[in-house]
Structure 1
Amino acid sequence: MATTLEGTILRGESFDPAEGRVVVEDGEIAAVEETATDSTDIVLPAFVNAHTHIGDSIAKEAGGGLSLDELVAPPDGLKHRLLRQASREEKVRAMARSLQFMEDSGTAAFLEFREGGVEGVDAIRDALADRRIDPVIFGRESAAAMRAADGFGASGARDGEFGDLREACREAGKPFAIHAGERDPHDLTPAMDLDPAFLIHVVHPRDEHLDRIENEQLPVVVCPRSNLVTDVGVAPIRELVERTTVALGTDNVMLNSPSMFREMEFAAKLADVSATEVLRMATHNGAELAGKEYGLIEEGRPAKLLTLDGDSDNLAGAEDPVRAVVRRAGEGDVKGVML
């Protein structure tokens, strides 16, 4: 049985707004049709949150005023101490609530750096029970955690060479991702030398780092709200977008809500980047990093879709639907989520 979504469709890689409908059959986009409708809805691809630490859900807004290292540096940053103090049940319950929020606000998938070794990977899988959101879990701390997960997530080249773990990822055929350039530029070259699937943050690249990112087409995930909260600076988003694939992540739930609406608005108003590019960062580009076929409204793609009420008090009268989605929309405008 087919399902039809009508209104302004943000279709294809350029998110061209067109009045029409999306026909969904068996979980796949069967047709995208231009036609007159009576609907004021806006239909767009569901989001992909390209960098999260969902385990921090047990410590929202803890540690105000602390430095980056005091907040999150392993093994004894505040988040790690709080994680050790919380019971497994508390952590699973808190993560499940964040995952529910992400689903309800239109996130189809997330790329998670999961603390706690194998036990941490098992805990988030428990939190995902009965959820529709797709996880891509990067285990941390050990090769065993990587094997239990979908890949390995490194804290940064300054915190260890990670050579053995990088080789273990190769042997297992799983991706290796790493934080880099968050506090300063000094760990960027050693991070890139590990041939990661992508880098996270890249707040402080030098010209030689940007050149290498471009030459190697090394994707980058930026987390602008997190970087300002931890006072490390702002990534050169425009320069990165001009050189490589850039995706958007919300980072630690301890510091920021896992809202892609808030992250998009912040990125669009902070950086000299078009609303179309920011929407691509929040959808298709993240889907590419996650190895998913969705993130665009095109025939034949999985139907991971988000419908906004274009006649909400917030969105009514918007003349540019893409800018309205990126710079203005929020969870209160969500009318439906198809995952």
Structure 2
Amino acid sequence: MEEIEGTVLVGQSFEPTRGRVVVEDGRIQAVEEVETTSTDIVLPGFVNAHTHIGDSVAKEAAVGLSLEEAVAPPESLKHRRLAAADRPDLVTAMHRTLRFMRRTGTISCLDFRESGIAGARALREAAHGVGVDPFIFGSGDQSVLDIADGYGASGANDGAFAEQRAACEKRDVPFAIHAGEPDATDIHPALELKPDLLVHMVHAEREHLERVAEQSVPVAVCPRANTVLGVGKPPIRKLLDHTTVALGTDNVMLNAPSMFREMAYTAKQFDVTAREVLRMATTAGAEIAGLDGGVIAPDRRAALIVLDGDSDNLAGSVDPVQAVVRRACALDIRRVIA
């Protein structure tokens, strides 16, 4: 049994509570209010709701390129680099990215993995021993579901995905799809597939938002990547008013997969509260993937980040939730527990 003391961000509301988290056999046994001298801040581990880890082999290679040139299938720079990469180099690059994610507080990610069965297997190998558990949305034909945890479609304008959607339904695994990134033309077709997750929705309009709410489809947004690619800003406030919204970092070739950076950017650029952003970075992604984490409460998985609240960066902060979302960084981490 272990007791972790400090200011604990408890429950769905992340209520700052002076006390301790009692952990035994990897699960939270209790959250207790007690007197403590600890200046640490304890929060849920991050769940990165949208990544493409495969292009770790081409970091910053797409600087200055458009969406089409950088990442669109099948002839973009990303896909050419993936096709040319040796498997050992690819696995090593993904392994190093996952290690970076662990060190920056991420305990799971929802990864859209290219290259079919071979790609899914490579990511499983890359994740071995890292401490980050990727939820793999596979690609290609439906046979990838023998290895992957769900299916991730590139977009409804890129091809027909009815067979893959049907296969996901038969196996009771999630189907996710990119939509509304370059424009709005693929949003209605994506919704026709009855997805379990939409990614981006930068160009979502009222009619799309109403359908999203009606179908109860969660959305993963990636604001920094959208900015880098020049496709616009997702309507995060409106999305939050209609559905569950989770936060992702998207392609490793475009941005470091740091949830601290993504949270700070989102909090400062959009009409959202710090608590909403923290939920987007933790609870929402866990709920989408059916993971037992993302919140500090009894009987939940002990997936926690312990920050040094007296670090040179965080000392003097008057609101721990604001400090975590807008200011904290990897240097403030004492421990990641998962």
Instruction: Output the TM-score relative to the length of structure 1.
Output: 0.98
C-alpha distance in 1, partners of 2:195/2:231? 22
In the TM superposition, what are the counterparts of 1:237-256 in structure 2 within 5 Å? 237-256=236-255
Task: Give the Å deviation of 1:145.
Answer: 1.7
C-alpha distance in 1, partners of 2:295/2:116? 34
C-alpha distance in 2, partners of 1:122/1:161? 24
Partner in structure 2 of residue 160 of structure 1: 159
Task: Give the Å deviation of 1:44.
Answer: 0.3
Partner in structure 2 of residue 88 of structure 1: 87
Structure 2 residue 291 is the aligned partner of structure 1 residue 289: no
Question: Which residue identity lines up with residue 276 of structure 1 in the other structure?
Answer: R
C-alpha distance in 1, partners of 2:217/2:125? 32
Number of residue pairs matched by the alignment: 338
Partner in structure 2 of residue 267 of structure 1: 266
Partner in structure 1 of residue 222 of structure 2: 223
SS at match of 2:74: coil
What's the RMSD between the two structures over aligned residues?
0.8
C-alpha distance in 2, partners of 1:147/1:327? 40
Question: Which residue identity lines up with residue 268 of structure 1 in the other structure?
Answer: A
8 A Cα contact 2:156 2:179, kept in partner: yes
Task: Give the Å deviation of 1:51.
Answer: 0.4
8 A Cα contact 1:181 1:205, kept in partner: yes
8 A Cα contact 1:8 1:20, kept in partner: yes
Question: Which residue identity lines up with residue 28 of structure 2 in the other structure?
Answer: I
Partner in structure 2 of residue 205 of structure 1: 204
Partner in structure 2 of residue 314 of structure 1: 313
| 1:113-172 deviation digits (Å, cap 9, x = unpaired) | 001111111111110111221111011122122332111100000011211111122222
Partner in structure 1 of residue 131 of structure 2: 132
8 A Cα contact 1:180 1:188, kept in partner: yes
C-alpha distance in 1, partners of 2:59/2:72? 17
Question: Which residue identity lines up with residue 16 of structure 1 in the other structure?
Answer: E
8 A Cα contact 1:147 1:172, kept in partner: no
Partner in structure 1 of residue 61 of structure 2: 62
C-alpha distance in 2, partners of 1:92/1:118? 14
C-alpha distance in 2, partners of 1:250/1:232? 15
C-alpha distance in 2, partners of 1:94/1:164? 32
SS at match of 2:185: helix
C-alpha distance in 1, partners of 2:318/2:237? 25
C-alpha distance in 2, partners of 1:243/1:63? 33
Question: Which residue identity lines up with residue 308 of structure 2 in the other structure?
Answer: D
SS at match of 1:165: helix
| 1:85-104 deviation digits (Å, cap 9, x = unpaired) | 11000000000000001111
SS at match of 1:19: strand
C-alpha distance in 2, partners of 1:188/1:172? 25
Task: Give the Å deviation of 1:41.
Answer: 0.3
Structure 1, gaps ≥5 residues long: none
Structure 2 residue 110 is the aligned partner of structure 1 residue 111: yes
C-alpha distance in 1, partners of 2:215/2:83? 39
SS at match of 1:205: coil
Partner in structure 1 of residue 16 of structure 2: 17
Partner in structure 1 of residue 278 of structure 2: 279
C-alpha distance in 1, partners of 2:200/2:93? 25
Partner in structure 2 of residue 236 of structure 1: 235
- The farther-off stretch of 226-235 and 209-218 is 209-218
| 1:255-284 deviation digits (Å, cap 9, x = unpaired) | 011100000001111110000000000000
| 1:213-245 deviation digits (Å, cap 9, x = unpaired) | 112211000000000000000000011011110
Task: Give the Å deviation of 1:173.
Answer: 2.0
- Identical-residue share of aligned pairs (%): 58
Partner in structure 2 of residue 101 of structure 1: 100
SS at match of 1:96: helix
Task: Give the Å deviation of 1:175.
Answer: 1.1
Question: Which residue identity lines up with residue 139 of structure 1 in the other structure?
Answer: G
8 A Cα contact 2:194 2:215, kept in partner: no
8 A Cα contact 2:58 2:78, kept in partner: yes
SS at match of 2:157: helix
Partner in structure 1 of residue 188 of structure 2: 189
C-alpha distance in 2, partners of 1:271/1:161? 34
Moved over 2 A (4+): none
Question: Which residue identity lines up with residue 220 of structure 2 in the other structure?
Answer: V
Instruction: Output the TM-score relative to the length of structure 2.
Output: 0.99
C-alpha distance in 2, partners of 1:279/1:296? 10
8 A Cα contact 2:120 2:138, kept in partner: yes
8 A Cα contact 1:49 1:286, kept in partner: yes
Question: Which residue identity lines up with residue 322 of structure 1 in the other structure?
Answer: V
Structure 2, gaps ≥5 residues long: none
Question: Which residue identity lines up with residue 131 of structure 1 in the other structure?
Answer: V
